[in-house]
Chains A and B, each alone.
Chain A
Amino acid sequence: MSNLKSADQFKLSFREEAREILVDLEAALLELNENRADDELVGRVFRALHTIKGSGAMFGFEVLAAFTHNLETAFDEVRNGRLQVTPELVDLTLSAMDQIRAMLEEREGAGEPVACAGILARVRSLAGIGSASQSAQTGLGSPPQAAGGPIRQWAIHFAPGPEFLLNGSNPLLLIAELRQLGGLAVKASMDAIPPLDELDPERCYIAWDMVLAGAADRDAIRDVFIFVEDSCELRIEPIAGTEEPRPEPGPASADAVAIAMEEPRTSAGGRRTYDKPDNASSLRVPAARLDQFVDLVGELVTVQARLAELSARRDDPEVAGVAEEIERLTSALRETSMNIRMLPIRSTFEKFRRLVHDLARDLGKDVELTMEGAETELDKTVIDQLGDPLMHLIRNSMDHGIEPPQVRLERGKRANAKIHLSARHSGASVLITVCDDGGGIDAEAVRRRAIEKGLLAVNAQLSEAETFALLFQPGFSTAKQITDVSGRGVGMDVVRQRVESLRGTIEVASKPGLGTSVTLRLPLTMAIIEGLLVSVEDACFVLPMASTLECVELSTRDIEQANGKHVAPIRGEVVPYIRLREHFGLRTPRPELEQIMVVESGEGRFGFVVDRVLGNCQTVIKSLGRYYRHVQAVSGATILGDGRVALILDPDRLVQDAVRVRTRNQAARASPQASPPQPHGAVRQPEGKAVRS
């Protein structure tokens, strides 16, 4: 059975699905805590639990399924109006979710009786469910609960597709699960089974027509098929005249079955309907396969660059035509492959609802989390690595930024504090901001602490941004006491390291008494960028196209008019520039006519003076490796069509680097005792682990 996926793959697939369901469940629970009478939210929680239970049993997570069954029962009681939603029930369910998560990961100790017993005992006590042993025994095969809602009959047509069995799905188990929702009459149709010698033994030719009688709604029925809906034909239609409450939810009558089997499955409008969800056309692809695809596109881009180079040298119109066509297609393919990797940041943001809820409870603070721009899309690699930095920023904000309610009231603030998470695009970057309305950062305390720790000279003059940047130094903390939440000075260092590894920057703004905002500026993509190839002497560099505004000539006359200052008048604005020749320590004389590449950086408009602009190019970013990790102005390297290596410049960091050197040199000239001026002339890392603001 080479086509068959292994059991491990199915478990993996279930885990992925279940993790997503748990994220939704968590969000629904936290919303439910705010709106306790919202039936829709109760239904959402119930369906999530039901799906985890049913599918868990199907994929061999029996303990998880039995455990979840109790929670499902509790929320069924809520659905039926016999149990109230209370903060206790929400907290209990959140704790149970953590257990489920641990069971999913098959962590050591997860699902053990001791770990689960406390939660289950409280759930059962709240919901008035029977004893543990009873629950365990009846957990999965228990008869349908007496339904409180109206009894309806549903005609269900279920026809597995050609790949259904190969995916490891079992129609018998699905039908057994459906039976738990109410009385079920089943008719299997064998009409499509071909002659034995033509029959594909791994394909399911049987289709089922069923009638379900019970309180289950369409969503609950669909949830049974949630993992297979893309590989089967599924129609769920109410049987007319069964909307009214019925006395018994027992097995469907023979008449009803006969009617349901004979009636054509048409909607009210007479059109045949297929009850597929909107996302039925989407496909789940393992991330590793996607990475491999993007790597191959990267290789293709490199080969295309070689072809373009070859075509330019050959001067053959036919070759040039093919090369241009390949370039166009490669560009489109690159764009498409990059888009495939883009994901909305919502799922990462949503995870923090729980963190804020739990921390607020533990710290005795009242904090509301608001979000903006959760649909903003980022490269999957960036999203995957954002969770930790954001978690540390939020924990820090909750612990140190936001004051206890009493203090807030004394300061004339609302007791209810706010943390606002936002994401938005800005050119080739995305800006993620964590903003709170807490007490703000005490810049003087940061300064004092830095001096105490020997990070700063006593007479050092720092801008506000430079002062706040100290917060991200390893081991730096101004917290007077270490708590469970933060204060060890580790978190902010993690934020800095992670953001730097993503080629991002951190900006901190804070107003005493009003709050703090930390903005992470991250690149949109991590793999291939559109770049401008420039040369200085024999060296080639790539500037990201997205941050480049324009290219203008810089003549000797322009330089003379500026009286030796590194500025040029461009469109009525005086734009400072960095001459890469000088910055990188190249000693050869500059040409008569140079080019200024004007970029938009975090410091405003800036120019980079180069010898020549060679043209635009698709650039596959190759890491420079650990040895060059402190070379901040260079974000990677790429291989050109002729085999040469070009460094990819990071305009933001280049500008910051130049500004820092210039400021330091100016300060050195003003104070001869301070460190000697540093020359321009090398891509440098001033202090090994410098912190950028």
Chain B
Amino acid sequence: MGIALEGSDAESVVRLDGAIDIASAAELKARLLEALSSGTGVRVSLEGARYLDATAVQLLWAAGRQARRSGVPFQLSGQLPDPLWAALADAGLQLFAIPVNAV
């Protein structure tokens, strides 16, 4: 489980691994702010995420909105596991609705 920020000249990648919930929300916020201030496009990799709770979703949402307002490319990559995808969809938290910029 963890949140990692990897940077290159072209893109900052926030990599989510395992369960991302209220216990890691503060860290996720810090990494997202860091990525958004890097001056590059931001990609959040969901490849390793096994669980996202409401705190994670709202952070991703806030980050996407900030990116759009400031014209920074922002995208989500990787597929969530089916049960997680279904649970989020059941709660109306489809990640596709995050207000991202076209990459």
A residues touching B (Cβ–Cβ < 8 Å)? 1, 4, 160, 165-166, 170-172, 175-176, 179, 184, 186-188, 190, 193-197, 199, 201-202, 204-206, 208
Contact = CB atoms under 8 A, between A and B. Distances in A.
A682 to B, nearest CB: 65
6 contacts: A1-B23, A172-B90, A176-B91, A186-B91, A190-B58, A193-B61
A170 B57 CA distance: 13
B22 A1 contact: yes
Interface string B65-103: 110000000000000000000011011110000000000
Contacts of A1: 22-23
Contacts of B32: 196
Given A165-B54, A196-B32, A201-B55, A190 B61 contact: yes
Contacts of A184: 90
A175 B93 CA distance: 11
B62 A186 contact: no
Contacts of A160: 54
B66 to A, nearest CB: 5
A179 B87 CA distance: 11
Contacts of A165: 22, 53-55
B26 interface: yes
Contact of B55 (A187, A196, A197, A204): A204
Interface string B40-56: 00000000000001110
B88 to A, nearest CB: 7
A172 B62 contact: no
B62 A196 contact: yes
B14 interface: no
Q: Identify the interface centre among B53, B54, B61: most chain A CB within 10 Å of its CB.
A: B54
A194 B65 CA distance: 10
A196 B26 contact: no
A194 B90 contact: no
A170 B55 contact: no
A194 B87 CA distance: 24
Contact of B22 (A4, A175, A193, A206): A4
A194 B63 CA distance: 10
Nearest to A164: B54
A165 B93 CA distance: 16
Interface in B18-46: 22-23, 25-26, 28-29, 32-33, 36
Nearest to A166: B22
Contact of A170 (B23, B53, B58): B53
A204 B58 CA distance: 8
Nearest to B98: A190
Contacts of A204: 54-55, 58
A179 B36 contact: no
A281 B26 CA distance: 31
B29 A199 contact: yes
A205 B28 CA distance: 16
Contacts of A170: 53-54
Contact of B66 (A171, A195, A201, A202): A195
A234 to B, nearest CB: 16
Nearest to A189: B92
A172 B22 contact: no
Contact of A196 (B57, B66, B92): B66
A184 B91 CA distance: 10
B2 to A, nearest CB: 15
Contact of A201 (B28, B88, B91): B28
Contacts of A199: 29, 58-59, 62
A656 B23 CA distance: 63
B6 to A, nearest CB: 19
Contact of A186 (B25, B63, B92): B92
A202 B53 CA distance: 11
A179 B90 contact: yes
B92 A187 contact: yes
A232 to B, nearest CB: 12
Contact of B90 (A4, A186, A197): A186
Nearest to B64: A196
Q: Identify the interface centre among B26, B55, B88: most chain A CB within 10 Å of its CB.
A: B55
A206 B63 contact: no
A206 B25 contact: no
Given A188-B92, A197-B33, A199-B29, A206 B87 contact: no
A187 B91 CA distance: 8
A282 B26 CA distance: 31
Given A196-B29, A196-B63, A197-B33, A205 B58 contact: yes
A160 B55 CA distance: 12
B26 A202 contact: yes
A104 B52 CA distance: 29
A190 B23 CA distance: 21
A143 to B, nearest CB: 13
Given A172-B88, A172-B91, A197-B33, A206 B57 contact: yes
Given A4-B23, A172-B54, A201-B29, A206 B62 contact: no
B87 A172 contact: yes
